[in-house]
Amino acid sequence: MGYDSIVCVKQVPDTANVTGEAMKADGTVNRGALPAVFNPDDLHALEAALQIRDGFGGSVTVLTMGPVGAAEVLRECLYRGADRAILVNDRRAAASDTLATSYILSRAIHKIDRFDLVFCGRQAIDGDTAQVGPQIAEKLGIAQVTYFEKLVDLTDRTIRVRRNVGNGWEVLEARLPLLLTVLDSANEPRPAAAKRVMRFKRARCPGEIGNQVASAMPTASAAEKEAEQARRAELLKSGGLLIEQWNLDDVKADLQWCGMSGSPTKVHRVQSIVLTKEGFTPVEPNEKAVRQMIHELIKDHTLG
């Protein structure tokens, strides 16, 4: 018994703390200058899945797509209690818009095969689109409930959930499988567990092992490096510390629907925010100046 959950998580640039260096002179974003963080809403998605596993049994698998460095958010999930972690990494997935991304993630979910629930955060702070969750649900041919806030009931594969739509809430009932996008008000994410940090801080995906080997044996031949990488991966695997890494072939993705060619939307132009007002009328902080300003606002019918 129990329920198997898949949680889609994302490593994002920390857009909440953008500093001057984050924007290049040409108005594009200097991703290198922004620290990479765990997308905040996704921590709540993970927590929702962990609570269902802890309450009903089952498993939690975390899935992300991104560069090799994105394995860091998977380790964060392992520290918090995830059972299995998978990175989808492929250069051919670069420049994917939400549609291509959801297609690739849905292919990976097909490969995982057994699942009852898929969880996503409400949205990611780099794009704020909130589109990938519903699009994954459509690709999987399952129903979706967005803005999940509370589990009301879960009995015999029938789930009741409360969703918060801002100006109210509703309770929906659905049969599993189901995809949920989770609000930050749904729960308080648990912190990393010290014991699990001790254990999983050495967890690595093959791409990371490859990087380690390359810097440890700079003069070795390609074949030697490959052998060493395989040896280290095998060692981690036997200790349950290998983060799985899949490419687009592994998930049997049709390349036509991935990356640039799979993305109907194209970025035409990007501008950094320019302040539109040419300059303002300075008003001294004294009664006379303030009265003058109010007078002007009455005169131009802004007030009154």
Partner 1 sequence: MIEPNRKGEVWIYAEQEDEHLSDTSVEMCSKARELADGLGVAVGAVLVGWNVRELSYRLIAHGVEHVYYVNDTRLEYYRTLPYARVLCQLIAKYKPQIVLYGATPLGRDLAPRIASEMRAGLTADCTDLRLGAYTDPRTKITHENLLLQIRPAFGGNIIATIVNPDRWPQMATVREGVLRMDDGDPRRSGRIIEEKIEFNDFEQAVRLIERHRVKRKVNLKGARIIVAGGGGVGSKDNFRLIHELAGVLGGAVGASRAAVDSGFVGKEHQVGQTGTTVRPALYVACGISGAVQHRAGMEESAKIIAINWDKDAPIFGVSHYGIVGDLNKVIPMMIKAIRERG
Contact set for partner 1, span 27-46 (CB under 8 A): 27-29
Task: Tell whether residue 302 is a contact of partner 1 (CB under 8 A).
Answer: yes
Judged by CB, which is closer to partner 1: 7, or 120? 120
Candidate ranges 61-69, 233-241, 244-252, 259-267; the one touching partner 1 (CB under 8 A): 259-267
How many residues lie near partner 1 (CB under 8 A)?
79
Task: Tell whether residue 101 is a contact of partner 1 (CB under 8 A).
Answer: no
Among 38, 79, 147, 246, binds partner 1 (CB under 8 A): 147
Helices (H), 57-97: 71-80
Residues 152/169, Cβ–Cβ less than 8 Å: no
In what order do the strands lie in the sheet containing 117-121?
Answer: 158-164, 143-155, 178-182, 117-121, 3-8, 58-65, 84-88, 244-246
Among 214, 216, 255, 293, binds partner 1 (CB under 8 A): 293
Encoded tokens for 245: 């890494």
- For the segment 171-190, give every residue that binds partner 1 (CB under 8 A): 171-175
Task: Tell whether residue 134 is a contact of partner 1 (CB under 8 A).
Answer: yes
Supply the minimum distance, in Å, between the C-beta of residue 254 and partner 1: 12
Task: Tell whether residue 150 is a contact of partner 1 (CB under 8 A).
Answer: no
Query: Could you give the dihedral angle defined by the CA atoms of residues 182, 183, 187 and 189, in that order, rounded to the nearest 10 degrees?
Result: 80
Candidate ranges 19-27, 80-88, 190-198, 241-249; the one touching partner 1 (CB under 8 A): 19-27
Q: List, in order, residues 6 or more apart from 290 with CB less than 8 Å away.
A: 283
